[in-house]
Structure 1
Protein backbone atom coordinates (compact mmCIF):
# COMPACT_ATOMS: atom_id res chain seq x y z
CA UNK A 1 0.00 0.00 0.00
CA UNK A 2 1.30 3.44 -0.96
CA UNK A 3 0.67 6.47 1.19
CA UNK A 4 0.38 9.90 -0.38
CA UNK A 5 1.72 13.03 1.12
CA UNK A 6 -0.57 15.91 1.93
CA UNK A 7 1.06 17.82 -0.92
CA UNK A 8 0.19 15.02 -3.38
CA UNK A 9 -3.36 14.90 -1.99
CA UNK A 10 -3.78 18.66 -2.45
CA UNK A 11 -2.38 18.40 -5.98
CA UNK A 12 -4.77 15.55 -6.88
CA UNK A 13 -7.71 17.44 -5.36
CA UNK A 14 -6.73 20.55 -7.34
CA UNK A 15 -6.51 18.54 -10.56
CA UNK A 16 -9.90 16.93 -9.95
CA UNK A 17 -11.45 20.31 -9.15
CA UNK A 18 -9.87 21.88 -12.22
CA UNK A 19 -11.08 19.05 -14.47
CA UNK A 20 -14.60 19.24 -13.01
CA UNK A 21 -14.63 23.01 -13.52
CA UNK A 22 -13.45 22.68 -17.12
CA UNK A 23 -16.10 20.03 -17.77
CA UNK A 24 -18.83 22.28 -16.35
CA UNK A 25 -17.54 25.25 -18.37
CA UNK A 26 -17.63 23.12 -21.50
CA UNK A 27 -21.21 22.05 -20.81
CA UNK A 28 -22.22 25.67 -20.16
CA UNK A 29 -20.51 26.85 -23.34
CA UNK A 30 -22.23 24.13 -25.36
CA UNK A 31 -25.59 25.16 -23.92
CA UNK A 32 -24.89 28.83 -24.67
CA UNK A 33 -23.91 28.01 -28.23
CA UNK A 34 -27.05 25.90 -28.58
CA UNK A 35 -29.19 28.73 -27.20
CA UNK A 36 -27.52 31.29 -29.45
CA UNK A 37 -28.04 29.02 -32.46
CA UNK A 38 -31.71 28.56 -31.53
CA UNK A 39 -32.12 32.33 -31.11
CA UNK A 40 -30.43 32.95 -34.46
CA UNK A 41 -32.64 30.37 -36.18
CA UNK A 42 -35.76 31.89 -34.60
CA UNK A 43 -34.76 35.37 -35.77
CA UNK A 44 -34.10 34.08 -39.29
CA UNK A 45 -37.57 32.53 -39.29
CA UNK A 46 -39.10 35.81 -38.09
CA UNK A 47 -37.31 37.75 -40.84
CA UNK A 48 -38.49 35.26 -43.47
CA UNK A 49 -42.12 35.43 -42.39
CA UNK A 50 -41.98 39.24 -42.12
CA UNK A 51 -40.65 39.35 -45.67
CA UNK A 52 -43.50 37.09 -46.75
CA UNK A 53 -46.00 39.40 -45.04
CA UNK A 54 -44.44 42.36 -46.88
CA UNK A 55 -44.97 40.54 -50.16
CA UNK A 56 -48.61 39.91 -49.21
CA UNK A 57 -49.02 43.62 -48.37
CA UNK A 58 -47.33 44.76 -51.58
CA UNK A 59 -49.62 42.66 -53.78
CA UNK A 60 -52.72 43.47 -51.72
CA UNK A 61 -51.82 47.16 -52.04
CA UNK A 62 -51.97 46.91 -55.81
CA UNK A 63 -55.26 45.01 -55.77
CA UNK A 64 -56.81 47.16 -53.03
CA UNK A 65 -55.77 50.33 -54.83
CA UNK A 66 -57.53 49.13 -57.97
CA UNK A 67 -60.62 47.99 -56.06
CA UNK A 68 -60.89 51.40 -54.35
CA UNK A 69 -60.32 53.29 -57.58
CA UNK A 70 -57.03 54.77 -56.33
CA UNK A 71 -55.13 52.97 -59.10
CA UNK A 72 -56.44 52.48 -62.62
CA UNK A 73 -57.61 48.93 -63.15
CA UNK A 74 -55.15 46.90 -65.22
CA UNK A 75 -56.17 43.32 -65.93
CA UNK A 76 -52.59 42.11 -66.38
CA UNK A 77 -51.35 43.75 -63.18
CA UNK A 78 -54.40 42.52 -61.25
CA UNK A 79 -53.85 38.97 -62.46
CA UNK A 80 -50.15 39.10 -61.61
CA UNK A 81 -50.76 40.41 -58.08
CA UNK A 82 -53.54 37.91 -57.42
CA UNK A 83 -51.39 35.04 -58.75
CA UNK A 84 -48.60 36.19 -56.45
CA UNK A 85 -50.98 36.04 -53.47
CA UNK A 86 -52.12 32.56 -54.46
CA UNK A 87 -48.50 31.42 -54.76
CA UNK A 88 -47.50 32.97 -51.43
CA UNK A 89 -50.46 31.51 -49.58
CA UNK A 90 -49.78 28.08 -51.10
CA UNK A 91 -46.13 28.09 -50.11
CA UNK A 92 -45.13 25.79 -47.25
CA UNK A 93 -44.29 28.28 -44.50
CA UNK A 94 -43.85 25.84 -41.61
CA UNK A 95 -40.11 26.52 -41.25
CA UNK A 96 -40.91 30.21 -40.74
CA UNK A 97 -43.02 29.48 -37.66
CA UNK A 98 -40.89 27.49 -35.19
CA UNK A 99 -41.91 27.22 -31.54
CA UNK A 100 -40.29 29.98 -29.53
CA UNK A 101 -40.52 32.59 -32.28
CA UNK A 102 -43.38 34.46 -30.65
CA UNK A 103 -43.66 37.92 -29.11
CA UNK A 104 -43.43 36.62 -25.52
CA UNK A 105 -40.12 34.92 -26.30
CA UNK A 106 -38.55 37.38 -28.76
CA UNK A 107 -40.18 40.61 -27.62
CA UNK A 108 -40.51 43.45 -30.08
CA UNK A 109 -38.83 41.48 -32.88
CA UNK A 110 -42.19 39.92 -33.77
CA UNK A 111 -45.90 40.51 -33.40
CA UNK A 112 -46.77 36.81 -33.50
CA UNK A 113 -48.71 35.82 -30.40
CA UNK A 114 -47.94 32.54 -28.59
CA UNK A 115 -51.54 31.49 -29.29
CA UNK A 116 -50.37 30.40 -32.76
CA UNK A 117 -48.65 27.39 -31.19
CA UNK A 118 -51.22 26.69 -28.47
CA UNK A 119 -53.27 23.54 -28.43
CA UNK A 120 -56.54 24.15 -30.25
CA UNK A 121 -55.09 26.87 -32.49
CA UNK A 122 -56.95 27.16 -35.77
CA UNK A 123 -54.06 28.83 -37.59
CA UNK A 124 -54.05 26.01 -40.16
CA UNK A 125 -57.70 26.67 -40.96
CA UNK A 126 -56.98 30.37 -41.48
CA UNK A 127 -54.06 29.51 -43.73
CA UNK A 128 -56.15 27.11 -45.82
CA UNK A 129 -59.01 29.64 -46.09
CA UNK A 130 -56.58 32.36 -47.20
CA UNK A 131 -55.16 30.10 -49.90
CA UNK A 132 -58.64 29.19 -51.10
CA UNK A 133 -59.68 32.87 -51.27
CA UNK A 134 -56.42 33.91 -52.98
CA UNK A 135 -56.73 31.10 -55.53
CA UNK A 136 -60.31 32.11 -56.30
CA UNK A 137 -59.22 35.74 -56.69
CA UNK A 138 -56.38 34.70 -59.00
CA UNK A 139 -58.88 33.01 -61.30
CA UNK A 140 -61.03 36.16 -61.67
CA UNK A 141 -58.89 39.25 -60.94
CA UNK A 142 -58.12 39.79 -64.62
CA UNK A 143 -61.80 39.59 -65.63
CA UNK A 144 -62.61 43.21 -64.84
CA UNK A 145 -62.91 45.58 -61.93
CA UNK A 146 -66.20 44.11 -60.69
CA UNK A 147 -64.65 40.63 -60.61
CA UNK A 148 -61.65 41.97 -58.68
CA UNK A 149 -63.90 43.75 -56.21
CA UNK A 150 -65.98 40.59 -55.79
CA UNK A 151 -62.97 38.46 -54.83
CA UNK A 152 -60.69 40.73 -52.85
CA UNK A 153 -63.04 40.95 -49.86
CA UNK A 154 -62.62 37.26 -49.03
CA UNK A 155 -58.83 37.60 -49.09
CA UNK A 156 -58.94 40.64 -46.83
CA UNK A 157 -61.33 38.87 -44.47
CA UNK A 158 -58.95 35.94 -44.04
CA UNK A 159 -55.92 38.18 -43.53
CA UNK A 160 -57.81 40.17 -40.92
CA UNK A 161 -59.14 37.11 -39.10
CA UNK A 162 -55.66 35.70 -38.65
CA UNK A 163 -54.21 39.01 -37.54
CA UNK A 164 -57.07 39.53 -35.09
CA UNK A 165 -56.48 36.20 -33.38
CA UNK A 166 -52.72 35.76 -33.69
CA UNK A 167 -51.03 39.16 -33.97
CA UNK A 168 -50.33 41.66 -31.22
CA UNK A 169 -52.72 44.62 -31.46
CA UNK A 170 -51.37 47.83 -33.00
CA UNK A 171 -48.62 46.01 -34.86
Structure 2
Protein backbone atom coordinates (compact mmCIF):
# COMPACT_ATOMS: atom_id res chain seq x y z
CA UNK A 1 0.00 0.00 0.00
CA UNK A 2 2.76 2.44 0.93
CA UNK A 3 4.62 1.57 -2.27
CA UNK A 4 1.52 2.37 -4.38
CA UNK A 5 1.07 5.65 -2.54
CA UNK A 6 4.71 6.55 -3.12
CA UNK A 7 4.42 5.61 -6.79
CA UNK A 8 1.24 7.70 -7.14
CA UNK A 9 2.84 10.69 -5.40
CA UNK A 10 5.94 10.38 -7.59
CA UNK A 11 3.80 10.27 -10.73
CA UNK A 12 1.78 13.30 -9.64
CA UNK A 13 4.96 15.24 -8.81
CA UNK A 14 6.45 14.35 -12.19
CA UNK A 15 3.29 15.49 -13.98
CA UNK A 16 3.22 18.72 -11.98
CA UNK A 17 6.87 19.39 -12.77
CA UNK A 18 6.17 18.77 -16.46
CA UNK A 19 3.22 21.17 -16.39
CA UNK A 20 5.31 23.70 -14.50
CA UNK A 21 8.08 23.44 -17.10
CA UNK A 22 5.55 23.90 -19.92
CA UNK A 23 4.02 26.90 -18.16
CA UNK A 24 7.48 28.35 -17.54
CA UNK A 25 8.49 27.72 -21.14
CA UNK A 26 5.41 29.50 -22.44
CA UNK A 27 5.85 32.39 -20.01
CA UNK A 28 9.51 32.71 -21.02
CA UNK A 29 8.66 32.68 -24.72
CA UNK A 30 6.00 35.37 -24.23
CA UNK A 31 8.40 37.53 -22.22
CA UNK A 32 11.13 37.15 -24.85
CA UNK A 33 8.89 38.03 -27.79
CA UNK A 34 7.46 41.00 -25.89
CA UNK A 35 11.04 42.15 -25.29
CA UNK A 36 11.66 41.90 -29.01
CA UNK A 37 8.55 44.00 -29.69
CA UNK A 38 9.73 46.60 -27.15
CA UNK A 39 13.03 46.86 -28.99
CA UNK A 40 11.17 47.30 -32.27
CA UNK A 41 9.11 50.07 -30.70
CA UNK A 42 12.17 51.79 -29.28
CA UNK A 43 14.12 51.93 -32.54
CA UNK A 44 11.03 52.76 -34.56
CA UNK A 45 10.45 55.62 -32.11
CA UNK A 46 13.93 57.00 -32.73
CA UNK A 47 13.48 56.80 -36.50
CA UNK A 48 9.87 57.97 -36.41
CA UNK A 49 10.79 60.99 -34.28
CA UNK A 50 13.27 62.06 -36.95
CA UNK A 51 10.86 61.30 -39.79
CA UNK A 52 8.11 63.42 -38.19
CA UNK A 53 10.51 66.24 -37.34
CA UNK A 54 10.07 65.82 -33.57
CA UNK A 55 13.78 65.06 -33.28
CA UNK A 56 16.49 66.64 -35.36
CA UNK A 57 17.76 64.32 -38.08
CA UNK A 58 21.16 62.89 -37.21
CA UNK A 59 22.60 60.51 -39.81
CA UNK A 60 24.77 58.64 -37.31
CA UNK A 61 21.94 58.14 -34.80
CA UNK A 62 19.52 57.18 -37.57
CA UNK A 63 21.97 54.62 -38.92
CA UNK A 64 22.58 53.15 -35.47
CA UNK A 65 18.84 52.84 -34.83
CA UNK A 66 18.22 51.29 -38.26
CA UNK A 67 21.09 48.82 -37.87
CA UNK A 68 19.79 47.84 -34.43
CA UNK A 69 16.27 47.47 -35.82
CA UNK A 70 17.57 45.15 -38.52
CA UNK A 71 19.41 43.09 -35.90
CA UNK A 72 16.19 42.76 -33.88
CA UNK A 73 14.24 41.80 -37.01
CA UNK A 74 16.86 39.15 -37.77
CA UNK A 75 16.36 37.31 -34.48
CA UNK A 76 14.89 33.87 -35.05
CA UNK A 77 11.39 33.72 -33.67
CA UNK A 78 11.14 29.93 -33.95
CA UNK A 79 11.09 29.36 -30.19
CA UNK A 80 9.17 32.53 -29.30
CA UNK A 81 5.78 31.33 -30.50
CA UNK A 82 4.98 27.95 -28.90
CA UNK A 83 1.51 26.53 -29.37
CA UNK A 84 -0.66 27.56 -26.43
CA UNK A 85 0.94 30.98 -25.95
CA UNK A 86 -2.01 32.90 -27.37
CA UNK A 87 -4.29 35.33 -25.54
CA UNK A 88 -7.10 32.76 -25.31
CA UNK A 89 -4.81 30.26 -23.55
CA UNK A 90 -2.77 32.45 -21.19
CA UNK A 91 -2.91 35.92 -19.71
CA UNK A 92 -0.35 38.58 -20.48
CA UNK A 93 -0.24 38.39 -24.26
CA UNK A 94 -2.17 39.89 -27.14
CA UNK A 95 -1.19 37.20 -29.66
CA UNK A 96 -4.30 35.83 -31.36
CA UNK A 97 -4.75 32.08 -31.79
CA UNK A 98 -5.00 32.76 -35.54
CA UNK A 99 -1.19 32.92 -35.61
CA UNK A 100 -0.97 29.15 -35.32
CA UNK A 101 -3.71 28.63 -37.89
CA UNK A 102 -1.87 30.78 -40.45
CA UNK A 103 1.78 30.26 -39.54
CA UNK A 104 2.89 30.47 -43.20
CA UNK A 105 1.31 33.93 -43.49
CA UNK A 106 2.93 35.00 -40.22
CA UNK A 107 6.29 33.83 -41.58
CA UNK A 108 5.77 35.81 -44.79
CA UNK A 109 4.84 38.91 -42.80
CA UNK A 110 7.92 38.43 -40.61
CA UNK A 111 10.12 38.24 -43.70
CA UNK A 112 8.50 41.44 -45.00
CA UNK A 113 9.44 43.20 -41.75
CA UNK A 114 13.03 41.99 -42.08
CA UNK A 115 13.18 43.19 -45.69
CA UNK A 116 11.73 46.59 -44.74
CA UNK A 117 14.23 46.84 -41.86
CA UNK A 118 17.07 46.07 -44.28
CA UNK A 119 15.79 48.80 -46.61
CA UNK A 120 15.68 51.19 -43.65
CA UNK A 121 19.27 50.26 -42.75
CA UNK A 122 20.27 51.18 -46.30
CA UNK A 123 18.36 54.48 -46.27
CA UNK A 124 18.45 55.86 -42.73
CA UNK A 125 21.96 57.30 -42.67
CA UNK A 126 21.71 58.73 -46.20
CA UNK A 127 19.45 61.70 -45.56
CA UNK A 128 16.13 62.63 -43.99
CA UNK A 129 14.10 62.14 -47.17
CA UNK A 130 15.46 58.61 -47.65
CA UNK A 131 14.62 57.81 -44.03
CA UNK A 132 11.10 59.14 -44.49
CA UNK A 133 10.62 57.13 -47.68
CA UNK A 134 11.66 53.90 -45.96
CA UNK A 135 9.51 54.61 -42.90
CA UNK A 136 6.17 54.09 -44.63
CA UNK A 137 7.05 50.61 -45.84
CA UNK A 138 8.48 49.65 -42.47
CA UNK A 139 5.42 50.85 -40.59
CA UNK A 140 3.15 49.14 -43.08
CA UNK A 141 4.81 45.77 -42.62
CA UNK A 142 4.58 46.00 -38.84
CA UNK A 143 0.94 47.09 -39.03
CA UNK A 144 -0.03 44.29 -41.41
CA UNK A 145 0.95 41.65 -38.89
CA UNK A 146 -0.49 43.51 -35.91
CA UNK A 147 -3.86 44.04 -37.60
CA UNK A 148 -4.20 40.37 -38.40
CA UNK A 149 -2.62 38.71 -35.39
CA UNK A 150 -2.55 41.06 -32.38
CA UNK A 151 -5.53 41.47 -30.11
CA UNK A 152 -6.39 44.61 -28.25
- TM-score calculated relative to the size of structure 1: 0.84
What corresponds to 2:151 in structure 1?
168
The yes-or-no answer on 1:125 pairing with 2:96 is no
Determine which structure has more spread, i.e. the larger CA radius of gyration. 1
Matches of 1:114 and 1:30 in 2, distance apart? 29
Question: Match for 1:87 among 71, 83, 93?
Answer: 71
What corresponds to 1:4 in structure 2?
none
Question: Match for 2:118 among 129, 135, 140?
Answer: 135
With over 3 angstroms needed to count, the CA separation of the structure-2 counterparts of 1:102 and 1:144, relative to structure 1, is: same
Question: Match for 2:33 among 20, 44, 49?
Answer: 49
Matches of 1:85 and 1:154 in 2, distance apart? 14
Number of residue pairs matched by the alignment: 152
Pairing of 1:12-161 with structure 2 (within 5 A)? 15=1, 18-107=2-91, 109-119=92-102, 121-161=104-144
CA contact (8 A) 1:115 1:121 kept: no
RMSD (Å) for aligned C-alpha atoms: 1.3
SS at match of 2:79: helix
Output one character per residue of 1:3-49: Cα deviation in whole Å (capped at 9) or x when no partner: xxxxxxxxxxxx3xx33333222212111110011101111111111
Q: Which runs of 5+ in 1 are unaligned?
A: 1-14
Post-superposition shift, 1:120?
Answer: 5.7
What corresponds to 1:9 in structure 2?
none
- TM-score calculated relative to the size of structure 2: 0.94
With over 3 angstroms needed to count, the CA separation of the structure-2 counterparts of 1:70 and 1:119, relative to structure 1, is: closer
With over 3 angstroms needed to count, the CA separation of the structure-2 counterparts of 1:104 and 1:121, relative to structure 1, is: farther
Q: Which runs of 5+ in 2 are unaligned?
A: none
Runs of 4+ in structure 1 deviating by more than 6 angstroms, as ranges, are none
